[in-house]
Amino acid sequence: MPTLDVLDHPFREQFEVFLDEHRRVLAECLEGLTEEQARRSLVPSRTTLLGLVKHVTFVEKVWFDEAVTCRPRAEIGIPDTPDESFILDDGDTIASVLQAHREACEASRKAASKLGLDDLLHGNRRGPLPLRWVYLHMLRELAQHGGHADILREQILSA
């Protein structure tokens, strides 16, 4: 659903539509690329297009699994730090990373659907935070990385 279509809808629905738009943009950054292009490193950090999508998958799990369920990261199967979440394994492909991203986003939607915007999530390392804050943080995170992805993709396609 386009974001303008929810202009007069409740905040909860607005948050969810904006989140889904940013999730989609990040997934689409890999469309039409080769495996080499998706893994291409253009900056000194570990940031690659494939790594960005792998990282936002990690972020989904931090905020909608760890924070909601209070399960430790090792049990969830995610790295301990955000920086580690950019590391690509030999088995990471565009298809496998996109599949993991789709599954994480669906799990996030399901976990959040049981909660109200003011419900506190107790599993984050910062302490209890309301779902409203988590939605805002996720929007910031996804928008920031969507911008990174736009720039990297432009560089890759113009090379």
Q: State the greatest distance between any 2 C-alpha atoms of the chain, in Å, as a whole number.
A: 47
Q: What is the pTM of this model?
A: 0.94
pLDDT, tens only, 96-120: 999 999 999 999 999 999 999 999 9
Round to whole Å and give the CA distance between 94 and 49.
10
pLDDT, tens only, 47-68: 999 999 999 999 999 999 999 9
Is residue 114 within 8 A of residue 10, CB to CB? The reply is: no
CA distance 39 to 29: 12
Confidence of residue 5 (pLDDT cuts 50, 70, 90): confident
Cα(43)–Cα(141) distance, integer angstroms: 19
- pLDDT range class, residue 9, cuts 50, 70, 90: confident
